[in-house]
């Protein structure tokens, strides 16, 4: 595969500010990687000799495994860090932890942290590439990219499509990254959920706001059913789980009122019976497991592009400052 010369990013921190050309470049590379993943060998050692570190300060199943798998499928080595059992409990800061891990010879750090902005902070304090695997409620760029790839594969060009994001918009990084990416590619985005989780302020960003799922059923080409982020909420934003499921859960009766080729997505983990019923999650409109498969391909593309850029593009002056500071401190 030829490296696309116009990819100029060493880090993937979010989809805010990422152009349509960059997104399409990454998605096209992911399509190629998905093809390779479906071949018997499943590998292309394009990153042989590189080492990636998974730095996860929050729980993860799909993202952590698929970043690790993506790096290995490209021939890179992978080391895994979990906050539990590490020296974080002894008071070590995020930057110190990351710089110590980088000092072991790391080319890319994949970070998940509850604090918004932590990947950016690391990108300013490390020499290696930084990829955001979810920073609190802020962004989760590879999740949105794999969602968009799945939409493209099933429905074609996303431009002009209407994508509805349902549920906990207030606390969902998946929602934020999807809004950025989908709008950049020309999709119409509706956010829908209880008013305690969906701010009318989204209208200022060109997003349609709805408080009734029933009212938008026949308008959307895609429903992305977001998980209620109980772990980020201080107080429960609706009276009961039953009420939420009654008003905002996708079920067979609602599905029957949707467009006939409607696509059902969910970032996972799904709570069966809450955001959607099992028959919808496992039904013919659902692309949930395809999203997971596409996640490996998207993360291969992200690692390949960022690490490829790092080895081609000279560090910018700000990087020299960081390197000089590191050199002074280690002298």
* Count of residues touching ligand ASP (by CB under 6 A): 8
| Closer Cβ to ligand ASP, 174 or 184, answer by number | 174
Q: In this structure, are residues 250 and 290 in contact, taking their beta carbons and an 8 Å threshold? A: no
Question: Is residue 134 near ligand ASP by the rule CB under 6 A?
Answer: yes
Among 34, 50, 113, 140, binds ligand ASP (CB under 6 A): 140
CB atoms within 10 A of CB 14: 23
- CA 76 to CA 49: how far, in whole Å? 6
- Phi, then psi, of 322 in degrees rounded to 5: -60, -45
Name the residue among 131, 174, 184, 176 with its Cα closest to residue 12.
131
| Closer Cβ to ligand ASP, 26 or 169, answer by number | 169
- Phi, then psi, of 271 in degrees rounded to 5: -110, 100
Tokens of 80: 């895994």
Q: How far is the CB of 107 from ligand ASP (least distance, A)?
A: 24
Query: Which residue lies nearest ligand ASP, judged by its C-beta?
Result: 227
Mask of contacts with ligand ASP, 193-232, x by CB under 6 A? ----------------------------------x-----
Question: Is residue 291 near ligand ASP by the rule CB under 6 A?
Answer: no
Q: How far is the CB of 266 from ligand ASP (least distance, A)?
A: 9
Q: In this structure, are residues 106 and 50 in contact, taking their beta carbons and an 8 Å threshold? A: no
Among 14, 181, 267, 295, binds ligand ASP (CB under 6 A): 267
Among 54, 174, 277, 286, binds ligand ASP (CB under 6 A): 174
The DSSP annotation for 35-48 comes to: HHHTSSS----TTT
Would you give the end-to-end CA distance of the chain in angstroms?
Answer: 41
| Closer Cβ to ligand ASP, 132 or 277, answer by number | 132
Binding site for ligand ASP (CB under 6 A): 134, 140, 143, 173-174, 227, 267-268
């Amino acid at each position: 595969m030829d490296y696309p010369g116009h990819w100029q990013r060493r880090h993937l921190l979010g989809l805010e500010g990422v152009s349509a050309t960059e997104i399409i470049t990454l998605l096209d590379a992911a399509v190629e990687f998905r093809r390779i993943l479906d071949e018997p060998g499943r590998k292309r050692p394009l990153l042989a000799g590189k080492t990636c570190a998974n730095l996860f300060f929050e729980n993860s199943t799909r993202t952590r495994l698929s970043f690790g798998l993506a790096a290995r499928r490209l021939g890179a080595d992978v080391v895994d860090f979990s906050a539990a059992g590490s020296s974080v409990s002894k008071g070590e800061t995020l930057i110190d932890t990351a710089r110590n891990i980088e000092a072991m010879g790391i080319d890319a750090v994949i970070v998940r942290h509850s604090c918004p902005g932590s990947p950016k902070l690391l990108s300013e304090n490390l020499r290696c590439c930084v990829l955001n695997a979810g920073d609190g409620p802020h962004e989760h760029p590879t999740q949105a990219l794999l969602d968009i790839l799945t939409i493209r594969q099933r429905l074609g060009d996303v431009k002009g499509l209407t994508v509805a994001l349902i549920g906990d918009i207030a606390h969902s990084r998946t929602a934020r990254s999807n809004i950025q990416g989908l709008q950049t590619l020309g999709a119409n985005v509706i956010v829908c959920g209880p008013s305690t989780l969906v701010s009318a302020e989204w209208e200022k960003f060109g997003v349609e706001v709805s408080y009734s799922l029933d009212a938008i059923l026949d308008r959307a080409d895609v429903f992305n059913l977001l998980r209620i982020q109980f772990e980020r909420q201080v107080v429960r934003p609706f009276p009961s789980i039953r009420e939420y499921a009654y008003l905002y859960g996708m079920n067979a009766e609602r599905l029957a009122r949707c467009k006939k080729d409607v696509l059902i997505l969910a970032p996972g983990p799904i709570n069966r019976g809450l955001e959607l019923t099992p028959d919808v999650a496992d039904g013919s409109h659902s692309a949930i497991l395809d999203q997971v498969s596409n996640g490996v391909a998207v993360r291969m593309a992200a690692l390949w592009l960022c690490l490829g850029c790092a080895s081609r593009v000279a560090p910018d002056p700000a990087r020299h400052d960081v390197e000089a500071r590191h050199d002074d401190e280690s002298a």
